[in-house]
Structure 1
Amino acid sequence: MLMTGKRDFRRVRVVGGVFILSGLFALLAAYGAERFLHMVPCELCLWERRPWRVLIALGALTLVLSPRYARWPIIGGILCLALSVILSVIHIGVEQGLWRSPAPSCHMVVTHSDKASDWLNHLPVHPLKPCDLPDFPFGLPVSMTTLSGIYALIVFVLALKIAIRVFRRVRRDQKKG
């Protein structure tokens, strides 16, 4: 599938723009929740931010590359969004008590000693929020993780739909021309 022409160039740029804007929105929302709502992120919350950072980079790469090679960052961006949805589902399951957190910092080390020094040695360097303790912003009965997962799913479906449409149009235009 070779992409050429000004029309193809514009079509591919839409996908890159969606990647950049949705990634920026997700990271700014997380920053705002920390800064203004005073929510402390757990380790899984920090894991969930990584795909959004990569998505922004892939969106920028999509804007810079020629349309011929832009399909690879688009596919990578779709995979980042799928990973974001998967991480949200994992975190929601931890919050609901369906399974244990895969993040090692979310587990408390049990010491079988009566000495306070043993207990203090097993404490983390900085205080951490447990991964199974959800935050409920805006007084809604929906956790921040659930809102993040819904957002990731919406962006995933939207980006996939746009990418499929772009790839089909490009293929159709190449067959005509």
Structure 2
Amino acid sequence: MTSDTIANPSHARADAALTAALAITAIAAATLAGAWFFQLVLDIRPCPLCLEQRYAYYLIIPLGALAAIAAARDAPRAVLLVGLAVLALAALGNAWLGTYHAGVEWGFWKGPTDCTGPIGNLGSAGNLLERLDTVKVIRCDEVQWRFLGLSLAGYNVLISLLMAAIAAWGIVKLRSRKRSW
């Protein structure tokens, strides 16, 4: 702690919120970059559930950056709390979606009909070959890549829970300091 942090508890709150927001933003950006690397470089194409899991990262990155800017400019405590709470909720929602997807992959429950189960109607026999050449269905219930027994959906759960835990840490730090307003 710096002498400024000891003398000014609101600065300590801002430091905790800034640290949490920057960490969450960096983790989300690295995760999204990794997802694009798997897709574009390794040619591991995302299924519809994979793509839906990216939405949270598209929200978390700019929101985390805004929360960091707000913390750096000593925004009111309530603003910082709301920002971190929204980050935590987005991460927890994404952890739930990743858990659902991993359960579909493991066969614990059925997934969405557009990416699991038998392939439906492909049209008339006349254009069947043409449609098969143009349509590539990426199935949600087939794992394309695993490391240490976890699929990308499983890693998404762990990463999302980590981001939620960091946001919770920031919230606890913000709430534990004496109010200076």
TM over 0.5: yes
8 Å contact 1:23–1:55 — kept in the other structure? yes
2:20 to 15, 18, 22: 15
The residue matched to 1:80 in structure 2 has which SS?
A: helix
Residue 5 of structure 2 aligns with which residue? none
SS at match of 2:171: helix
| Structure-2 change in CA distance of 1:23 and 1:107 (3 Å) | same
Out of 46, 49, 52, which is 1:44 matched to?
49
SS of aligned partner of 2:13: helix
- One-letter code aligned to 2:125: A
2:117 maps to 1:134: no
Give the 5 Å matches for 1:46-125: 46-65=51-70, 66-68=74-76, 69-102=79-112, 104-106=114-116, 110-111=120-121, 115-117=124-126
Query: Which residue pairs with 2:170 in the alignment?
Result: 162
Secondary structure, in 3 states, of the residue corresponding to 2:103? helix
| Maintained 8 Å contact 1:105/1:128 | yes
Q: Which amino acid aligns with 1:141?
A: G
Q: Give the distance between the partners of 1:70 and 1:112, measured in 2 at CA.
A: 51
- TM-superposed deviation, 1:124: 10
Greater RCO, CA 8 A, separation 6+: 2
Judge which range, 158-167 or 8-17, deviates more: 158-167
Paired position in structure 2 for 1:35: 40
Q: Which amino acid aligns with 1:166?
A: L
Give 1:146 deviation, angstroms: 1.3
Offset of 1:11 from its aligned partner? 2.3
Greater alpha carbon shift after TM alignment, 158-167 vs 35-44: 158-167
1:150 correspondence with 2:155: no
- Give the equivalent residue in structure 2 for 1:26: 31
Look up the equivalent residue of 2:111 and give its one-letter code.
S
Helix, strand or coil at the partner of 2:150? coil
Q: How many residues align?
A: 168
Note if contact 1:109-1:122 (Cα within 8 Å) is conserved in structure 2.
no
Deviation at 1:159, TM superposition (A): 2.6
Compute the TM-score of the two structures, normalised by the length of structure 1: 0.79
SS at match of 1:132: coil
Deviations 1:67-119 (A, max 9, x none): 21222221110000101110111101110112222363546553498x41486
Conservation of the 8 A alpha-carbon contact between 2:94 and 2:157? yes
Gaps of 5+ in 1: none
- Pair 1:54–1:112, CA change in 2 (3 A): closer
Deviates more, 1:127-136 or 1:63-72: 63-72
8 A contact 2:81–2:174 mirrored in 1:
no
Deviation at 1:44?
A: 0.4
